[in-house]
């Protein structure tokens, strides 16, 4: 049975704007949901055993390779079993939270989730990225061009030679306007961005849950 796979990665708990917008999405989603919270239960970073286990026959695995392969199999099968994806991934220091990068490293396996020219079983499945950020990275903003999260993640998830998902992105911005005095004057822009993010989350959830039913 297909489901929505939701991956959370913010360490801020209920205060996380990425989580809040993702909550709006899941509330509007009509179907089963499987959630993996990487902040609460992180996976270890990929190591040599995890890499070599992929190219070593299972009968020849060392105990370390066997354990690493078991972790990867669990994560990959959970990923492949989903019909749609929701990734709540805030910007940390211009890029991905390390817990999310670790998860990606475990599931990005050629022939299973990566096609490299061949169609993957996940090709065309819908995915929504929710990426809250403290500043603004759009055209005209001082930080324009310094968002290294969304371009990388849209490439990994959406490139036809990689996971080939059908990716949509929601980016509530300027969350620091709530707590940093120099950004207080941007509070109305943050509020508008957050309102739009919640509206998009509801819209995408309603549309995609019907399409994947």
Q: Where are the domains of the chain?
A: 4-211
Domain 4-211 part of CATH 3.40.710.10: no
Contact 205, 26 (CB under 8 A): yes
d(CA 206, CA 199): 11
Say how many C-beta atoms besides its own lie within 10 A of residue 64's C-beta.
14
Q: Return the SS3 of 17.
A: helix
pLDDT in tens, 86-138: 999 999 999 999 999 999 999 999 989 998 877 788 999 999 999 999 999 98
Tell me the pTM: 0.95
pLDDT in tens, 24-56: 999 999 999 999 999 999 999 999 999 999 999
- The C-alpha atoms of residue 118 and residue 116 are separated, in whole angstroms, by 6
The pLDDT value recorded for residue 1 is 53
């Amino acid at each position: 049975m297909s489901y929505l796979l939701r991956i959370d990665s913010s360490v801020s708990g209920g205060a996380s704007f990425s989580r809040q917008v993702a909550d709006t999405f899941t509330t509007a989603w009509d179907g089963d949901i499987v959630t993996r919270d990487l902040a609460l239960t992180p996976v270890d970073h990929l190591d040599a055993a995890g890499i070599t286990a992929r190219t070593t026959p299972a009968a020849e695995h060392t105990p370390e390779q066997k354990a690493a392969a078991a972790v990867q199999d669990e994560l990959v099968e959970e990923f492949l079993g989903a019909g749609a994806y929701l990734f709540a991934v805030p910007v940390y220091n211009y890029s991905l939270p390390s817990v999310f990068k670790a998860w990606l490293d475990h599931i990005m396996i050629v022939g299973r989730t990566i096609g490299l020219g061949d169609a993957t079983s996940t090709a065309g499945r819908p995915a929504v990225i929710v990426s809250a950020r403290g500043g603004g990275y759009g055209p005209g903003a001082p930080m324009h061009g310094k968002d290294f999260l969304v371009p990388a993640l849209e490439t990994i998830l959406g490139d036809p030679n990689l996971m080939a998902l059908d990716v949509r992105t929601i980016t509530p911005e300027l969350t620091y306007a709530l707590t940093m005095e120099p950004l207080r004057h941007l509070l109305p822009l943050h509020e508008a961005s957050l309102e739009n993010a919640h509206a998009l989350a509801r819209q995408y959830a309603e549309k995609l849950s019907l399409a994947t039913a």
